[in-house]
Amino acid sequence: MPFRLPTHVVLEPGSVAELSRYMNRFTAERAMLLYDPGLAKTKWPAIVRAQLNDAGIAVVEFDDIEPNPRVETVDRAARIARRADLNLIVGIGGGSVLDAAKAVSMLIRNRGDILKYEGRNLFPEPAAPFIAIPTTCGTGSEVTWVSVLSDPISRRKISIKGDGMFPALAIVDADVLETLPTTLIAQTGIDALTHAVETIIGKPANPVSDVLAREAVQLLVEHLPSLVKTPANSVAREAVMRASTLAGMAFGNADVGAVHCLSESIGGLTDLGHGLLNAVLIAPVLTYELEAIREPLGSILPGINAEAMLKIIRDIVTDAGIPSFAFLEIDTNLYEELSVQAAQNGSNQSNRKTMSAANYRQILDSL
Distances, alpha carbon 23 to alpha carbons 19, 32, 81, 90, in Å: 7, 14, 19, 12
Does residue 363 surpass a pLDDT of 70?
Answer: yes
CA 19 to chain centre: 22
Q: Which domains does the chain have, with CATH numbers?
A: 8-176 (3.40.50.1970), 181-366 (1.20.1090.10)
What is the distance between the terminal CA atoms of the chain, rounded to a whole angstrom? 35
The single-letter DSSP state of residue 323 is P
Q: Which residues contact 33 (CB under 8 A, 6 or more apart)?
A: 45, 48, 49, 52, 59, 60, 61, 62, 90, 91, 92
Across residues 97-107, what is the average pLDDT? Answer: 98
CA 296 to chain centre: 23
> Going by DSSP bridges, is the β-strand pair 30-34/156-161 parallel, antiparallel, or unpaired?
unpaired
Across residues 257-278, what is the average pLDDT? Answer: 96
pLDDT digits (tens, 9 = 90+) for 303-356: 999 999 999 999 999 999 999 999 999 999 999 999 999 999 999 999 999 999
When pLDDT is cut at 50, 70 and 90, the band that residue 3 belongs to is confident
The single-letter DSSP state of residue 52 is H
pLDDT digits (tens, 9 = 90+) for 140-179: 999 999 999 999 999 999 999 998 999 999 999 999 999 9
- Nearest CA to 104 among 136, 139, 135, 62? 62
Distance CA 105, CA 87 (A): 9
Give the chain's radius of gyration (CA, Å).
Answer: 19
Across residues 223-246, what is the average pLDDT? Answer: 97
When pLDDT is cut at 50, 70 and 90, the band that residue 1 belongs to is low
pLDDT for position 240: 98
Q: CB count, 10 Å around CB of 264?
A: 27
Handedness of CA 297, 158, 94, 168 (dihedral sign): positive
Q: Alpha helices, DSSP H only, in the chain? A: 44-54, 71-83, 95-107, 182-201, 207-229, 234-251, 258-270, 274-297, 306-319, 335-344, 357-366
Contact 133, 48 (CB under 8 A): yes
